[in-house]
Structure formats: C-alpha cells, structure tokens
Amino acid sequence: MAIQDIYPTALRLLGRPVLVVGGGPVAARRAKGLLDAGARVTVVAPLACPALNGLADAGLLTWEPRTYRPADVDGVWFVQTATGNPAVDAQVGADAEAQRIWCVNASDHEASAAWTPAVAVVDDVKIAVNAGGDPRRAMAVRDAVATALETGDLPLRRRRTTTTAGSVALVGGGPGDTGLITVRGRRLLGQADVVVADRLGPRELLRELAPDVRVIEVGKTPGHHPVPQAEINRILVDEALQGHRVVRLKGGDPYVLGRGGEEAEFCRQHGVEVEVVSGVTSAISVPAAAGIPVTHRGLAKGFSVVTGHEELSEVPARADHTVILLMGVGQLRDSTAALGRAGLPAGTPVGIVENGYLPNQRVTIGTLGTIADQAEAAGVANPAVIVIGDVVRVSPFAPSHFKTADYSTTSPNAPRTARTTQTRVLTP
C-alpha cells in the first residue's frame, strides 16, 4: 500500500459497536482510543493485560475471554486487530473485508485496509498523522505539529462562526521582547478574534496576526489615558458577548500594577469567562536585562515596587532593600529627594534601564544624589525602570568604583555587546 492510496478521513464512532481482537498492550491502547471516541468496545482475547482488565472491570468495555470467531465481526462498524499472531490478524482482516468493514491490521500495515494515525489533541483540534506505515516517524511529526500549535507558531484560531460563548484572556506579554511572552500567552494570541492592546509589551507579535483579526488600541502614557479604564472594561465585555475570543495584551504582568484585577472582576460580573495568563513583569525582568538582580546575596534580601514618589514613605530607606520605580522618570527628582529625606545616603547606586530587551535599550547608572541631573542631561524617557539600591553594583555596566568585596560575585562581567543593543552608561 502506497501513501497515495490513502484517503484521510475521520470516523465518528460515538455509540457504535467496534471490535478489538487481542489482549496485549497494543490492543489496550487501541481500545482506550476507541473508548475516548465514544465507541462501544468489545475485546476478544483468551488473556487480557492489566490495562484491559482494568477497563473491563470498570465496565467501560466488554471482554470475551476466548479465541476469535469469524462471527465476531458481524454487525460492527470498525475492527482493530492486535493479537501479535500474523495468521490470526490476517484472518480477522479477511473476515472484515468480506463484510466491507474497515479493519486495522496491526501485524501487517501493507495488508491493512485502514491505518491508525499518531494522534494528538490541542484545544478542539485533533491532529492525525500517517507516515507511510512508520509509526515512530508519525509520532515525531505529530509531536512537532502539536508543539507548534501549543506555542502559537501554527494558527489555532477558528474560522467558522460557532455557537461557542466568547471569552477574555488577560495576557501578560512581558517586557517587550517577543521571545519573553509565555507559551500559553502566545497560543491564546494566535486564537484571538480581537486583541485589545497596550502600547507596551510584544508589539511585533501584532504583525503576525491574520488580516481579519481586529486590534483595538487602548495604550496609555503617564498622565494621558485616551481610552479610560472603564471604557476598556466595556470593550472587553462587549466583544466577548458577541462570541469573540478576546485577548487583552498587556506589557509585563496583568496583575502587577496593570489593573488586570479590575478587568477580570468586571468580566466576571457580566458573565464573561476570563483567563489570566501571567507574564514576566518588567519590574524584575528589565533590571535583569542590564545585569541587575533585584535581590542578591550579601546586598539585598527584599525589594519594593512603586509607581510614584508619594508611596516612597512606606518603603524601607536602606541601600540593602531594593526600590524599583515603574514609569517614574517624570517624578525622578522628587522621588530621589523623598528617599534622601527618609535617610537613604546620597551615594546609594541607582540604575535606569530604558526600553529593556529592545534594540534601543539604554542603561544609565549614577547615585541617588546625581541620577536626576544625569537623566535630564541624557534625555532619559519612559518606558524605563529605575532601580535604587546596592544591587546596582552587580551590573556589568556599573563603574569600577561601584564594585565592592561585599557580595558574592567572584569576577566582573563584561557588558553585553549584542549588535541589536545600544547601551550608554553614564556615571557620576
């Protein structure tokens, strides 16, 4: 049998009687697959392996503990033979052929009237792969296709209108690099009918969407919210109630200063299914792009994340407690002054990372007493993450006089020299 002789199709066996001849592990796997399809399974075999015995004891299938008889194929819709005895399998196949019943012969794929493909299920998509009768090859191809669907590299989006209710997924896209979105987030983005997008996050992924996927821009900048939060909430619910799969694509993590909790609550109040997909928050990942850990042995055991200088009175004013300011460039001078008044020394290291992980990433390093002037002179702008504390000393971009023997780094690192990253280091 050549692969050109195969006509791929799918059988709907719900409630229909099928026959499995054989009692070993292969027969058990085939019986389990047929049960998953809703078939009424009868197994004929003198002996049954533990897996088949368990299915029979649970009442999920009927086991006839005897040898095969030609009459066993009467009235069935489909036959699977896996006795391990080629002569018996061939006889079953011949009896099924005589009654025009499709039969899979596990002993001889060339003589088999039907083949069982390697199968995987992703969402409501079932993948079935035949590979010229080579089961290991079929499984390898199946796994590769399933992985591509899981990761969003292949499209899972529905093309036909269904009666399925709409839904909302709040997806954290990470700090902006397309490789830092989660696998789950990428998959949901590939299934979306509507994407409600922030101005931050993995914007390049929007270019990969199908032409008929609607993108609704709701991006905000500090002090400028062209689409109010209440309107964003309404958009999510209205689109989902129309039966659409909606992805709210955010930068960072939707539950870290992203108002994701408000959006999820509003959806649930209006009967809309909502899923929250965590992302890599910029509060931690963007400092890491500049080699700055938010905690480090011997330097800092904890950190606080704030968005405005008025919150700084609540955080420890110590160099061994890292303070992370998000979108804080406009208030940087006020924030550093507030920390100084709270007792943080003027020589405390400060790092600013603009456009983390993007080609125009830039790092500015100074101290609490100098960083505001440095940032102003360099034209530092949001999006940026500001890190205040001794952990900045660990950065490979820190000046040599920032290095101390008080932490566990054994040798200084060289700054990144990737061609796509432009970095400027400003020091006091």
Residues 346-376 have pLDDT tens digits of 999 999 999 998 889 999 999 999 999 999 9
How far apart CA 169 and CA 247 sit, in angstroms, is 5
| Mean pLDDT confidence for 5-25 | 90
88: helix, coil or strand?
helix
**420 vs 79 pLDDT, higher one:** 79
> What is 37-53 written as a DSSP string?
TT-EEEEE-SS--HHHH
Closest to 306 measured CA to CA, from 264, 334, 266:
334
Closest to 166 measured CA to CA, from 269, 266, 267, 244:
244
Tell me which architecture the domain covering 3-116 has in CATH: 3-Layer(aba) Sandwich (3.40)
Q: Are 354 and 327 in contact (CB under 8 A)?
A: no
Q: Where are the alpha helices (DSSP H) in 256-331?
A: 260-269, 282-289
Q: Which of 198, 250, 253, 390 is catalytic?
A: 198
Q: Is 162 a residue whose pLDDT tops 80?
A: no
In sequence order, the 6+-apart residues with CB closer than 8 A to the CB of 395 are: 290, 291, 292, 351, 363, 365
- Give residue-wise pLDDT tens across range 198-218: 988 898 999 988 888 999 999
| Mean pLDDT confidence for 288-299 | 91
Q: What is the pLDDT of residue 8?
A: 80
Q: Helix 260-269 crosses helix 229-241 at what angle (to 10 degrees)?
A: 40
**Geometric angle at alpha carbon 396, from 393 and 400, rounded to 5°:** 60
How far apart CA 339 and CA 119 sit, in angstroms, is 60
pLDDT tier at 78, thresholds 50, 70, 90: very high
How long a stretch of residues is the chain? 428
Give whole-number Cα distances, 423 to 44, 160, 300, 322, 415, in Å.
71, 48, 25, 23, 9
Give the tokens for residue 197. Answer: 């997008």
Residue 323: count of CB within 10 angstroms of its CB: 27
Q: Is 411 a residue whose pLDDT tops 60?
A: no
In sequence order, the 6+-apart residues with CB closer than 8 A to the CB of 278 are: 172, 182, 253, 254, 255
Q: What is the pLDDT of residue 408?
A: 46
How far apart CA 385 and CA 82 sit, in angstroms, is 62
Q: Are 18 and 43 in contact (CB under 8 A)?
A: no
> What is 150-163 written as a DSSP string?
HTTSS-----S--S
Please give the model's pTM, rounded to 2 decimal places. 0.65
Q: Which CATH number fits domain 167-280: 3.40.50.1820, 3.40.50.970, 3.20.20.80, 3.40.1010.10?
A: 3.40.1010.10
**Geometric angle at alpha carbon 67, from 61 and 73, rounded to 5°:** 65
Q: Is there a shared CATH topology between the 3-116 domain and the 284-402 domain?
A: no
How far apart CA 94 and CA 106 sit, in angstroms, is 14
Class of domain 284-402: alpha beta
H/E element, 85: none
- Verify whether residue 220 is a known catalytic residue: yes
- Give residue-wise pLDDT tens across range 328-341: 999 999 999 999 99
Domain positions in the chain are 3-116, 117-150, 167-280, 284-402
Residue 246, φ and ψ in degrees, nearest 5: -110, 130
Q: Helix 332-341 crosses helix 371-378 at what angle (to 10 degrees)?
A: 170
Q: Is 47 a residue whose pLDDT tops 80?
A: yes
How far apart CA 255 and CA 273 sit, in angstroms, is 17
Q: Are 149 and 122 in contact (CB under 8 A)?
A: yes
First to last CA, the chain: 77
pLDDT tier at 163, thresholds 50, 70, 90: low
Is the Cα torsion angle 231, 232, 234, 239 positive or negative in sign?
positive
| Mean pLDDT confidence for 35-60 | 95
Q: What is the pLDDT of residue 139?
A: 87
How far apart CA 425 and CA 174 sit, in angstroms, is 24
Q: Which of 108, 220, 238, 320 is catalytic?
A: 220
